[in-house]
Amino acid sequence: MSENDLILYHYPASPYAEKVRLLASCLDVPWRSVEVAIQPPRNTLALLAGGYRRIPVMQIGADIFCDTAIISEEIIGRSKQTLAACDDASQALSQRAETDVFFAAIRQNSPLKTALGLTWMLGLKGMMAFAKDRASFSAGHKPAGQSPAAAKRVFREFLNDLERQLMGKRYVSGASPSLSDFCCYHPIFLAQGFKSIKPHQIPETVRSWMTRLEALGWGDYADVEASDALEIAKMQDPRSLPSVDVEHEDVGEWVTVTPTDTGRVPVTGTLVSLSTERIIIARRSEDVGLCHIHFPRQGFTCERIQ
| pLDDT, tens digit (0-9, with 9 covering 90-100), for 18-54 | 999 999 999 999 999 999 998 888 999 999 999 999 9
In this structure, are 16 and 129 located in the same domain? no
Assess if residue 160 is contained within a domain: yes
Predicted confidence (pLDDT) per residue in 235-245, tens digit: 999 999 987 65
107 and 172 belong to one structural domain: yes
Distance separating alpha carbons of residues 179 and 198, to the nearest angstrom = 26
Structural domain includes residue 180: yes
Domain CATH number, residue 164 = 1.20.1050.10
What is the number of domains present in the chain? 2
Whether residues 147 and 177 fall in one domain: yes
Q: Which domain holds residue 193?
A: 88-213
Residue 2 domain flag: no
CATH number of the domain where residue 68 is located: 3.40.30.110
Q: Are 122 and 11 in contact (CB under 8 A)?
A: no
Selection from 73, 14, 67, 39 nearest residue 257 by Cα: 67
Q: Does residue 201 sit in the same domain as residue 226?
A: no
For the cut 80, the answer to whether the pLDDT of residue 118 exceeds it is: no
Residue 177 has pLDDT above 90, yes or no: yes
Least reliable range by pLDDT among 124-133, 205-214, 271-280:
124-133
pTM: 0.93
**162 touches 172 (CB < 8 A):** yes
Q: Cα(21)–Cα(17) distance, rounded to whole angstroms?
A: 6
> CB–CB of 62/233 below 8 Å?
yes
66 belongs to a structural domain: yes
Q: Same structural domain for residues 156 and 273?
A: no
Question: Of 192, 213, 234, which residue sits at a domain end?
Answer: 213
Q: How confident is the model at residue 212 (pLDDT cuts 50, 70, 90)?
A: very high
Domain assignment of residue 1, yes or no: no
Residue 65 and residue 15 share a domain: yes
